[in-house]
Amino acid sequence: MKILLVDDEKQLTDALSAVLIKNKYNVDVANNGEDGLEYALTGLYDAIVLDIMLPYIDGYEILKRVRSKKITTPIIMLSAKSDVNNKIMGLDYGADDYLSKPFDTDELLARLKAITRRKGEIADNILTFGDLSLNCNSHELIKGTQSISLGLKEYEIMEILLKNTSSLISKEFFITKVWGYDSDVEYNTIEVYISFLRRKLQSLNSIVKIKSSRGSGYKLEYTND
C-alpha cells in the first residue's frame, strides 16, 4: 500500500516514513505544498497524510484541488491547530480524518488502516482472482492448501494487478506506484519482477496468468480449461 506524506517538518517525515516502512507501507514524501499537490494529483496513492501549514500552498488548498479533480484518495489532515473550527473546515473540504500534533504513531497507523478499509480496497485483507488469493498481511500467494511468500516489490506489483483485474496496467504506472514518483527505475526492472511472479504462479500450478501486451503493460487472466 502506497502512502504520501506531505509535511515541511523533515524530522517528522523521516520518523513517520521509518514507521510506515516498518509496517510494510511504501512511502513518498513531499516537504512543501507545491510538490505535495503535484504528487497528490497523480491519484496513485492509497492514502495521503497532509499537514495544513505548508510552504507555497497550504494543506486546505491541496485538499480542495485534489477533491475538485474527483480524486477520492483517503486523506488524513495533520495540524498543530486543534480547535474545532479547523477540524470542521478540513472535513468540509473533503478530508477523511484529522489528527492534531503531537500524536502517537500507533494512532496514525490505526487511522490509516481504518480509512483504507472504509474505502473497501481490501476486504478482510485478502484479494482473490480465479483460484488465487493474496494475503495482504503475510504477503503470501495462496492456492488451496499451498502458499508461497512474496518479496516486498513482488507483493506490491501483485497487489496492483489483483486490484485492477479488468485493466491493462502500464509499466509507467508500476514504476511510479511501487518505486516512487521521481524514480529512475527502468522498464526492464518491471520485466524481471513480472518474471519472478510468473514463476511463483507456475509453482502453485495456478490457472491465473500474467498476460503482457507489447508496449502497453500487464494484466491478470485465467481460464478454467
So what's the pLDDT on residue 26?
85
What does the domain layout of the chain look like in residue ranges? 2-118, 126-222
So what's the pLDDT on residue 177?
83
In the chain, DSSP assigns E strands to: 2-6, 26-30, 47-51, 75-79, 97-100, 126-129, 132-135, 140-143, 146-149, 208-213, 217-222
Fold of 126-222: Arc Repressor Mutant, subunit A (1.10.10)
So what's the pLDDT on residue 122?
45
* CA separation for the pair 29, 34 (Å, rounded): 12
- Tell me which residues of the chain have a pLDDT lower than 70: 81-84, 118-124, 225
- For residue 162, what is its C-alpha cell? 489483483
* CA separation for the pair 184, 6 (Å, rounded): 21
**CATH of region 2-118:** 3.40.50.2300
- Sign for the CA dihedral angle at 163, 167, 170, 173 comes to negative
The amino acid at residue 140 is E
The answer to whether the predicted template modeling score (pTM) of the entire model surpasses 0.95 is no
So what's the pLDDT on residue 121?
46
